[in-house]
Amino acid sequence: METSGRITTTPDAHDFTVENVEKALHQLYYDPNIENKNLAQKWLMQAQVSPQAWQFCWALLCPDKVPEIQYFGASALHTKISRYWSDIPSDQYETLKTQLFSQIACFSSGSKMVLTRLCVALASLALNTMPEAWPGAVPEMVRVFQEEGGGVDGRARCLALLELLTVLPEEFQTSRLPQYRKGQVRGALGREWGSVCPLLQQLLRRGDSPGAVKARVLRCLSSWVLLDVPLSESEGLVEDCFTALPDPELFDTAVEAIVNAISQPDSQRCVDGQGRVRVCANPMTSDKHTR
């Protein structure tokens, strides 16, 4: 596989070691020769789906590694969970979940791109285990990240939780779940919205919430409403989005959230035909605001 530290041939299984993965990543990012880059990329794709990925992915996430290496480790985890779920013994689900929670906490104050990939990996695990093996997945996510400890400050924990809650519906949209499972999981996610909506509303209404937190709340809302969650359960939150419009840093994200919400099928199934959409589109003229 290796000549003078360079990936050159089709690998054997024993070639997929931490050291060789790091060499291949260095070749991919820094070798000026395009052919060498392509060889490294093909080798890494094989490494990512190999059984050995379960061993090297955790080692690549060590704090002393550079973000590019950590990112590959997190991506390998997501690939194994999302594409090869049936290979994972059921008695390993809880251990894998605990490890991912731990890694997300570690990266909550670290590389954003690595944090996101780890959140996507945990989201994929949740989708594959809810509702039978992991009932109440979202409440547990909220509880874990609301607990203090581990030397992670509250703002970082909050942002990590919001990132996880944001990618959960997004991962569902692109998941490889069988069709019968998609219906089950969509229903489970719809029920979880009852835990997510009050949390988002609380964070958006708090005067001391940082702009970064409010922006993440708006992104999270956009993600969940694409699951066709009932508008009746999020109308107050959608109205709260209007309070973010005067903020230039939140304007685009708030507009996207509002448009996504009122574009959903449920927004057309209102009590008076249009009343609910009118409340969302122009809250300043609703009874609630003019009394």
Say if 161 falls within a structural domain: no
Mean pLDDT, residues 271-291 taken together: 41
How is residue 10 annotated by DSSP?
P
Give per-residue pLDDT as tens, 9-42: 555 555 899 999 999 999 999 999 999 999 999 9
Say if 282 falls within a structural domain: no
Domain extent at residue 68:
1-88
Say if 34 falls within a structural domain: yes
Torsion angle of C-alpha atoms 112, 210, 140, 168, degrees rounded to 10: -50
Closest CA to 226 of 185, 175, 179, 169: 169
Give per-residue pLDDT as tens, 101-118: 999 999 999 999 999 999
* Lowest-confidence region among 52-56, 105-109, 111-115, 230-234: 230-234
How is residue 130 annotated by DSSP?
T
Give the three-state DSSP class for 6: strand
Give per-residue pLDDT as tens, 139-189: 999 999 988 666 678 899 999 999 999 999 999 999 999 999 999 999 999
* Total number of domains constituting the chain: 1
How is residue 31 annotated by DSSP?
-
Report how far residue 167's alpha carbon sits from residue 76's, in angstroms, rounded to the nearest whole number.
17
Say if 20 falls within a structural domain: yes
Say if 190 falls within a structural domain: no
Say if 263 falls within a structural domain: no
3-state secondary structure the chain: CEECCEECCCCCHHHCCHHHHHHHHHHHHHCCCHHHHHHHHHHHHHHHCCCCHHHHHHHHCCCCCCHHHHHHHHHHHHHHHHHCHHHCCHHHHHHHHHHHHHHHHHHCCCCHHHHHHHHHHHHHHHHHHCCCCCCCHHHHHHHHHHCCCCCCCHHHHHHHHHHHHHHHHHHHHHCCCCHHHHHHHHHHHHHHHHHHHHHHHHHHHCCCCCHHHHHHHHHHHHHHHCCCCCHHHCHHHHHHHHHHCCCCCCHHHHHHHHHHHHCCHHHHCCCCCCHHHHHHHCHHHCHHHHC
Say if 43 falls within a structural domain: yes
Say if 48 falls within a structural domain: yes
Report how far residue 276's alpha carbon sits from residue 259's, in angstroms, rounded to the nearest whole number.
14
Closest CA to 221 of 242, 249, 206: 242
Report how far residue 85's alpha carbon sits from residue 207's, in angstroms, rounded to the nearest whole number.
42
